[in-house]
Amino acid sequence: MNRTKVAILGAGFISDIHLESYHRFIPEAEVVTVYARNPDKAKAFAEKHHIAQWFSDVDELLAKTDCEVVDICVPNYLHAECCIKAAKAGKHIIIEKPLAVTLEEADEMIATCKANNVKLMYAEELCFAPKYERARHLVKEGAVGEVYMLKQSEKHSGPHTDWFYDINLAGGGVLMDMGCHALGWFRWMTNHAKVKSVYATMDTVFHKGRTKGEDNAVVIVEFENGVTCIAESSWAKHGGMDDKCEIYGTGGVIYADLFMGNAAITYSREGYGYAMEKADTTAGWSFTVFEEVFNQGYPHELKHFIECVRKNKTPLVTGEDGRAVMEMIYAAYASAGAGKKIMLPFTAKVSKPVDLWLNNKDN
């Protein structure tokens, strides 16, 4: 079989997840090279995953590798630069959330990909997570009647690496890291309905000495079709990862839990190796996850994106979807800063979205 060649940019936690997905579930793709800013990390990652090439310079990778797809898993502030370089080199792009740091970057990325006739695929895995997708299809079948409210929450005690806590690198806090999932899933569930308004409240409650960004946020989104959506995002919740949704309709309700519903409830006196993402101890009672990567939808989204490249299909989740999520993030930060509901469409000229909150929260 002629396999689609993939280059992965990044050698951190999410790159490991993508590698597992490619190796176990996507035989039609082959990861041929990896990039990391630190050459030692690039080399170690390549050796760990038996990847033929590694680079510490993106330009060199693009010049010397005959990959068809560039899978971007680097920190937020590098998304735009890497995407634009890859697009100009004629590579199709898979990019992790959030799409970029600013709306201006997002617009340039989308325009550059269109100008170079390459696909820009936004990796929102909740649109592919099997349990969430089963719930969506139940809604389409009419199982709960007319949907009037959606809730989604994603919570843990904080990211793996330091750059997430630096607002100049990440663009914000938990909203940029995890809130984007809920906002993207709301649009997916409402068939990309137009957003009417956004209201948000946020604070730094746990990581006060580590970040200026928010580590706990609640966002309420009103859609023009009458559906109200509530996103709860937190870096302050202990005990491992939570990822769940609630769907309320005039004829029923659906609850879906990605982690607890796929766990073996375990008691260990001494503890053991790994229970679930962000769980800091395994002593005592714990929820031991099963097929964590599969249940979150990573293999499904990547397999779909590779199929889009191989068969020249339009991706189900695109750069425009990522851009729409960013507009909602801007509105959420502006709402938290101003203490009022923000109507969409909304834009603002800032160096990073969190400034819309930080520059106004004490006024």
Contact 175, 159 (CB under 8 A): no
pLDDT at 363: 64
Q: CA torsion 22→289→238→274, rounded to 10°?
A: -80
Contact 44, 22 (CB under 8 A): no
Domain 127-297+325-356: CATH superfamily is: Dihydrodipicolinate Reductase; domain 2 (3.30.360.10)
pLDDT at 3: 98
E-state strands within 224-349 = 228-234, 242-249, 252-257, 263-268, 284-289, 342-343
Q: Which residue has the tokens 């766990």?
A: 263
- Mean of the pLDDT values across residues 228-252? 96
H helix or E strand, kind and range, residue 335? helix 319-338
**Position 132 pLDDT exceeds 80:** yes
pLDDT at 260: 82
**Position 273 pLDDT exceeds 80:** yes
The strand pair at 120-123 and 147-155 is best described as unpaired
Q: CA torsion 242→247→248→249, rounded to 10°?
A: -170
pLDDT at 275: 83
Domain 4-125: CATH superfamily is: NAD(P)-binding Rossmann-like Domain (3.40.50.720)
For residues 360 and 42, which has the higher predicted lDDT (pLDDT)?
A: 42
**Position 56 pLDDT exceeds 90:** yes
Task: Share the mean pLDDT of the chain.
Answer: 96
The strand pair at 216-223 and 228-234 is best described as antiparallel
Of 113, 71, 345, residue with least CA distance to 224: 345
Break the chain down into helix, strand, coil percent, rounded to 5. 40, 25, 35
Domain boundaries, the chain: 4-125, 127-297+325-356
**Position 285 pLDDT exceeds 90:** no
Measured CA to CA, the distance from residue 36 to residue 134 in angstroms comes to: 36
Confidence band for 219, pLDDT divided at 50, 70 and 90: very high
As a whole-number percent, the residues of the chain with pLDDT over 70 amount to 99
CA 294 to chain centre: 15
Tokens linked to 146 = 């007319």
* Same fold across 4-125 and 127-297+325-356: no
pTM, two decimal places: 0.95
Q: Residue 348, exposed/middle/buried by CB under 10 A (0-12, 13-18, 19+)?
A: middle
Q: CA torsion 76→80→83→85, rounded to 10°?
A: -130
